[in-house]
Amino acid sequence: MAEIAFIDSNIIIFANIKNSPDHAKSLALLEKALKGEFIGCINPIIAIEAHYKLMKYIDSSEAKYRINSLLDSFKLRFFSITKGTLKKGFDISDINKIATNDSIIIASMLENNVNKIYTDNEIDFKKYPKIKVVNPLK
């Protein structure tokens, strides 16, 4: 079975900002997912965070185009968020002292049987021991 992993917003952001010191490694990882070398996953939190941050670095219409392109890609899986996801995320946040946005990403991962995330935010995600956190920028 092919590897499956969430791709955090920071990786998407760095992949889209050419002058970022992490651009090349982030872009290489995102391209692997888009080529089907592994199953990359995102959810609304990741898309919103990436779009918001990209608008600070590139034109808003270009940011919208790039995020929409990811959403429309047949190579990335998009997992919606339900009330149940939110409630589970709030519990994870409360119990593990993790930021709400990250805890909702974790809840989404768990609901969809994904136990790995590519991110440079190791500190927060490693607070939840049931997932594997991989920093592709190291």
**Per-residue pLDDT at 124 exceeds 90:** yes
Place of tokens 């939190």: 45
Which class for 80: exposed (0-12), middle (13-18), buried (19 or more C-beta within 10 A)?
A: exposed
So what's the pLDDT on residue 59? Answer: 94
What is the residue-averaged pLDDT of the chain? 97
Give the helix/strand (H/E) hosting 81. Answer: none
At 23, the amino acid letter reads H
* Whole-number Å distance between alpha carbons of 70 and 104: 20
Cα–Cα distance measured from residue 108 to residue 35, given in angstroms and rounded to the nearest whole number: 23
Tell me what percent of the residues of the chain surpass a pLDDT of 90.
99
pTM score, whole prediction? 0.96
CA gap 116, 54 in Å, rounded = 24
- 82 pLDDT exceeds 90? yes
CATH number at 4-134: 3.40.50.1010
pLDDT value of position 2:
83
For 9-46, write each residue's pLDDT tens digit.
Answer: 999 999 999 999 999 999 999 999 999 999 999 999 99
**Rounded Cα distance, 83 and 89, in Å:** 10
CA angle 64, 66, 68 (to 5 degrees): 65
Task: Summarize pLDDT for 43-79 with one digit per residue, the tens.
Answer: 999 999 999 999 999 999 999 999 999 999 999 999 9
Q: How many CA atoms lie within 13 A of 134 on its CB side?
A: 14
